[in-house]
Structure 1
Amino acid sequence: MWVFNPNNKVQLSNSVSGASRSIKSTECRILRLLLDNEDLVVRKDVLVAETWGDRVVSDSSLTQAIAQLRLALGDSGKEQKIIKTLPKEGYQLISGSVCFDACYLEKNIETKCDNAAEPCAVSDSSVSIQPEGGSQQMFPAMKKVAVKVLALTVFFVSTLTFLWAGSIYMQSQAATKRPWSIEISEGTTFYIEGSHASEMLYQELAGQIISSISRVFISKNHEQFYVACEFNSQRHQDRQILNLTFTINYTADEIRKHINESCR
């Protein structure tokens, strides 16, 4: 059984196989909603609303997120042993396949208890009429709190901006130092970013990609593989491009299997 804690950096772990998986925030929201409604059908519109909020996304965004989630759980659209698709309705998480981490459940229960107790914290006997000057004395304290909150907000925004700019710079530097190579295998053109890991992944994928995929782009940073495939869609009857992300925990066989399932 997979143990799920959305607050951890590695959100999924399997005590039996020893495997661990990191998933994106969108996939975390979907899995949490499915697990909250275990063995029940969760409609697609509910999943989209709870996952992306007011953002306008296509049906393929949900389909891709479910496919990535299945891959992380060792499931597939063909087997559906963990996440079941109900056509024109939604998705259902099969009971006994995933459970919340005990620490996550304990923390959320404590939070709910604390929130529930707040309205009862002041009894009728403790209510008293404050003098007119009392409200005036509150404003300086509130002002101090507001100033501290604003200062912290500015600090965090500045820090995030600095880290983002640094990340963009490092990526641009890496891109200039890593030339791309082009290889053709069984009619599929591979564009490979010049790193040893990308070359190794290409060796595993060459000759194993379905014929509908015309081009594959492979790159990698220190934590993830980025794969983009251009293919002739059987569903839409036109050429499509799909971007996929895989953490380093995935095997080459799992990546190949997911590419062939998604890019068709």
Structure 2
Amino acid sequence: MNVQIRSQCNALWQLYPFAREQLVNVKTRQATKLKGPDCRVLEVLIENKGQVVSKREILKSAWGERVVSDASLTQSIAQIRLALGDNGKEQKYIKTLPSQGYLLYDNVVEMADSEWEIEPGASDGEGEHVLRPSVHNLPQLSVRSPTFNRKVKWLLLLLLMMLFVAQLSGIINRLSFDWNLQVDDWVNVKRASVNFLYQREPASEKLYHYLSSEKRLTGYQQPLDLVISTGVSNYYVSCLYLNDHTGADDVKNFTFSLQESFYFIGGMINDLCR
């Protein structure tokens, strides 16, 4: 059932701050949408209509703690004037007082304090305006609920995806240990007294073949373990050997450039891994 009332408004426009289109022309019922800051500036002017309101007071009331320049206020006033059919030259409804502030004339815009809101373009055929419940007196959550619900759904979906990825990673990690899966393929070869463990890829294999040659092996008398791998630009060699001075097992780790000569690498291992 439509609720109808006769308009008793003496102003030219009414402002419904929480509506989708806040500014409504009382005579034509044409509704205009204002941006948030513009609407708050107009509210301040309505609350002080007929009085000069300083720029500082408007900025504080409309933007709160946000740091904005006078240019933002000037822009908002210009947009409000445009919505009211006014401009900075004529100043029919909003007066600019230099170095003082702004003044909204009486009977221009008033706040709509009814719990009913004009439905733009709707009438009952007898000149009486059809109203619908105003969101002004409804809980704010009801106005924002569609957007709010969409955000909640996306956040929940994102959270579920993150949990799924984390669980999948855990399962793969456990399977890797249970099945003894290895990311890299390694080769273990024993030549004379040296036990080689090298990564199955071209650079490591070349270095292994050089170090495992019979000429090189004659220099190793004590048991020796050599681990050979490569990175993006380096060889990584580790040797586990019996220290001649301490009589205990010892470890040496080397990093060589991929451009380093095999002769130099072999000499370093032969000198230090004993």
Fold match (TM-score > 0.5)? no
| TM-score, structure 2 normalization | 0.39
Which structure shows the higher helix fraction?
1
Task: Mark the structure with the bigger radius of gyration.
Answer: 2
| TM-score, structure 1 normalization | 0.40
Which structure shows the higher strand fraction?
2
